[in-house]
Amino acid sequence: MRIPELLLPAGDMESLATALVYGADAVYLGADGPNLRARAAGFAGDGLGQAVAAAHNAGAKVYVCVNATPRQQDLGLVRQGLDQAVAAGADGLIIADPGVARLALRHAPSLPIHVSTQANTRNAEALAFWRDFGATRANLARECAAAEVAALCSARDRELPGFELEVFAHGAQCMAFSGRCQLSVHMTGRAVNEPGRTACMGACAHPCRYEYRLRSTLEERKREGTDAWEVVEHWISDGSGHAAGHGPGDRHTPGGEPWTQYLAPQDLCLIWQARWLARIGVDCLKIEGRTRSSAYLAVVGDAWRFALNSLAVGHFQPRAALAELRHAATRPLTSGLFGADPRKTIPGLDLKTPRSLPLMRVLGASETIFSGPAWDVELKGTFDPARPEGLTLILPGLGRPVLGPQDYRLERPDGLPLAAGHPGLRAVLFCAHPGLRPGIFAR
């Protein structure tokens, strides 16, 4: 059994560094060409070459996303992105549109083509089409059920040996076919006012994450057109002091009005299925998140790396990985359309227990004139130096040593005590733990 490649997202240079520290076999990112994460900072100009060099130095590959569905006037940007990927020495291209693939064969013939999940590949004939077109890998449609994935792996082994299959294994799900959300167009008017900023060009407004309330009005027959009463859905207490829920986005606003993310899908997590996916021959497991924070990526990437490493040594430990994934989960996790019931959350995940998110990231060894091992850090959350629970390091391999108040101290760069910390603040961490190095997070 071959262990699948772990493919992590890199939305910017900090996320790239985080992915490499926490075990990525490969990263995927956006550059100058149109891609489906327009909000991610990406790697424009010389930034892509720097990213590729950093990844290669860490033994990881880089796949460049050119997976938008471009209009005719966007083809110049596509060519620019392809040329940039070749010059940077990238290891592959992620493409959804046949026209972009055709351009890639001319402008970047040395780079393997990986078919994006946006191409919605769900049958062996589609796999054969892309193989004949020059592709070497396909990321299967996110809408595939487990039986479909198994059937495609079997068909690949019989008819397309050497062709690689990739599966999205963790992250946000789309209520529409991925990258084609017409609700985003309807809610924002971008197709008319900003034709280059639609879901198919990577600028989805994510209306599935908006909060809605159900309302109606009551009219009297002789006063047609005049609202006699407004009827609003009311929340019912479950007896615990909290409002009874309607879904993953439930919240009770101060005004008592029921604003809920009715359309928000739960997040995908196939950690329990990782061993099965490896056994049937899936070549790559992909983690969503180019617009997620580096702190999120540290937790999720480390949990998945641990799970795959435990699988490699014959002692698969999904439960331990899931316990860590809880800290990064903002919505319930599910196997989605992969499982028999997409509404059923995965077992073993307790979202009621408070999460512990990363609070700081090590930037590098400090050049402070004060004595003792010191590290420059950037705070990622609000930090109280007087907190009694101490500090937990997030070391690769699910290493989570807890430092007591006597094991570390935080100071301002000028040497004064740190009274309180907020996101973005730079500080100096005095700590002699051997696991500390640039890119390590703590919480």
Q: Is residue 197 part of a domain?
A: no
What pLDDT does 276 receive? Answer: 98
> SS3 of 267, please?
strand
Same domain for 426 and 305: no
Indicate if 323 and 426 belong to the same structural domain.
no
- Check whether residue 232 and residue 113 sit in a common domain: no
In a domain, 396, yes or no: yes
* Spans of the chain, pLDDT less than 50: 192-193, 195, 234-255
* pTM of the predicted structure, to 2 decimals: 0.85
The b/e string for 349-365 (b: 16+ C-beta within 10 A; e otherwise) is beeeeeeebbbbbbeee
- What confidence score (pLDDT) does residue 100 get? 97
Query: What is the predicted pLDDT for the residue at 16?
Result: 98
Listed residue (30, 222, 205) closest to 116, CA to CA: 30
Beta-carbon contacts of 128 under 8 Å, excluding residues fewer than 6 positions away, are 159, 160
User: For all residues of the chain together, what is the average pLDDT?
Assistant: 85
Tokens of 15: 């996320």
374 within domain boundaries = yes
> Tens digit of pLDDT for each residue in 125-176?
999 999 999 999 999 998 899 999 999 999 999 999 999 999 999 998 777 6
Query: With 0-12 CB in 10 A as exposed, 13-18 as middle and 19+ as buried, what is 403?
Result: middle
H helix intervals, 313-410: 318-325
Q: Note whether 63 and 109 are same-domain residues.
A: yes
User: Is there a domain that residue 304 lies in?
Assistant: yes
Per-residue DSSP letter, 204: -
For the record, the structure tokens of 81 come out as 């992105």
18 domain residue, yes or no: yes
Residue 275's domain is classified under what CATH number? 3.20.20.70
In a domain, 118, yes or no: yes
Distance CA 413, CA 426 (A): 7
Residue-level pLDDT at 62: 99
What is the Cα–Cα distance from 102 to 72, expressed in whole angstroms?
14
Whole-angstrom distance between the N-terminal and C-terminal Cα of the chain?
Answer: 36
The pLDDT assigned to 94 comes to 98
Look up residue 144 and give its two tokens. Answer: 């595939």
- Is residue 349 a part of any domain in this protein? no
> Do residue 277 and residue 379 come from a single domain?
no
203 assigned to some structural domain = no
Q: What is the domain extent for residue 10?
A: 5-173+265-338
Q: What is the pLDDT of residue 9?
A: 97
pLDDT of residue 238: 41
Residues 24 and 58 in one domain: yes
Q: Work out how many domains the chain is built from and give that number.
A: 3
Strands (E), 185-264: 215-219, 227-232
